Amino acid sequence: MVRSLPNDGAVLVISDAVKLFPVGKRSVWDRIRRKPQRFVHAVDDVSLEVAKAETLVLLGESGSGKTTLGRLVVGLETLNSGRINLGGDDVSRLKDSDKLRGRLQMVFQDPTSSLDPYMKVVDCVAEPLRKSNLEKQQIVSRAMESLTNVGLEEKLALKKPSELSQGQRQRVAVARAIVSKPDVIVLDEPTSSIDVSLQAQVLNLLVRLQKTQGFTYVLITHDPNVARYMADNIAVMYLGKVAEYGPADSVLSNPRHPYTQALLASAPKPDELSLPKPLSGEPPSMVSLPKGCRFAPRCPYVMDRCKETQPPLFRQEGTIVACYLYDH
């Protein structure tokens, strides 16, 4: 079975990551009867890699596990099994977080709730450096430099987040993420709460920072258009599993997995004025997933064995696909 794309010099290596969330409470009686605890398989056996100065896009709908995977990468959730390696250090098992401090950062969807309303902008940005060995003066100058880098004027540094516009706040969140010069930045839907014109500004900013300073991104999005613009590699996720993983060009222009095809067909395209094609049916419940391929109940090409066993990953010219259609 193919584990992941060959990629030398990967900064971040996720191998066989599994995250389960318990469902419901077990009463004492349930425990006595040894009634098994039920779990949601939020992330199920996912292996991915990100190379330096590249962007890996996790593309999927809500419930696909893309946000949980992002949170696992920065250590906001702990793995049930598997490994996440950041430049040789195991993120999931490292006891002293000092070794990781500042090397992983996250930008959240809603900057209004991710920035402390009582802190000045410059303090918000400087916070990741607070535990570093830098002098206070150096910390402030690093924070100011970071604000300039994201295109914010110096006079905004002493304002509160509530005095800024939504687009400016998201820039502050980006400034905070880059201030410690992290190895990997996880961007969780960074533009889905802002207008299109501001989205373009933020996306341009992220790309400029990557080109000039070599930042590595894991971008979580549900929007194939954002994915196309930002990605070097794309992992399409469905119900906790990777459906398709490969270079952005290949995944977007020649989607192989039936789910990728359906997802791309249901997104309206700027250059076509036709109504997007809907995918029939609803995703199955996360608690009682189908035994075989998770997309089988909605798949137009479903075969008998899809309903029986989960397809492994098959290699197809640079991309890997979890679908029996490619079992030759």
* DSSP secondary structure letter of residue 295: T
| Residue 288 interacts with other proteins (CB under 8 A): yes or no | no
- Residue 51's SS3 state is strand
Interacting residue with other proteins among 23, 76, 158, 200 (CB under 8 A): 200
Q: What does each C-alpha distance from 48 to 14, 124, 222, 244, 300 come to in angstroms? A: 5, 31, 18, 11, 27
Q: Which range touches other proteins (CB under 8 A), out of 114-122, 126-134, 278-286, 300-308? A: 278-286
Question: Do 22 and 48 touch, CB atoms closer than 8 A?
Answer: no
| Residue 111 interacts with other proteins (CB under 8 A): yes or no | no
Q: Cα(44)–Cα(42) distance, rounded to whole angstroms?
A: 6
Interacting residue with other proteins among 98, 212, 273, 304 (CB under 8 A): 273
| Residue 133 interacts with other proteins (CB under 8 A): yes or no | no
| Residue 266 interacts with other proteins (CB under 8 A): yes or no | yes
The closest of 243, 210, 250, 230 to 325, measured between CA atoms, is 243
Q: Which range touches other proteins (CB under 8 A), out of 22-30, 131-139, 224-232, 318-326? A: 224-232
Number of chain positions touching other proteins (CB under 8 A): 49
| Residue 51 interacts with other proteins (CB under 8 A): yes or no | no
| Residue 204 interacts with other proteins (CB under 8 A): yes or no | yes
Measured from the CB atom, the residue of 117 and 276 that comes closer to other proteins is 276
Angle at alpha carbon of residue 306, lines to 236 and 245, rounded to 5°: 20
The distance of Cα 288 from the centroid of its chain, to the nearest Å, equals 24
Interacting residue with other proteins among 16, 45, 110, 223 (CB under 8 A): 223
Measured from the CB atom, the residue of 54 and 123 that comes closer to other proteins is 54
Question: Do 3 and 10 touch, CB atoms closer than 8 A?
Answer: no
Question: Do 87 and 183 touch, CB atoms closer than 8 A?
Answer: yes
Question: Do 179 and 146 touch, CB atoms closer than 8 A?
Answer: yes
Q: Give the pair of three-digit tokens for residue 178.
A: 């880059």
| Residue 52 interacts with other proteins (CB under 8 A): yes or no | no
| Residue 246 interacts with other proteins (CB under 8 A): yes or no | no
Residue 13: CB minimum distance to other proteins, A? 23
Residues near other proteins (CB under 8 A):
55, 61-62, 165-168, 195-201, 203-204, 207-208, 222-226, 228-230, 248-249, 262-263, 265-283
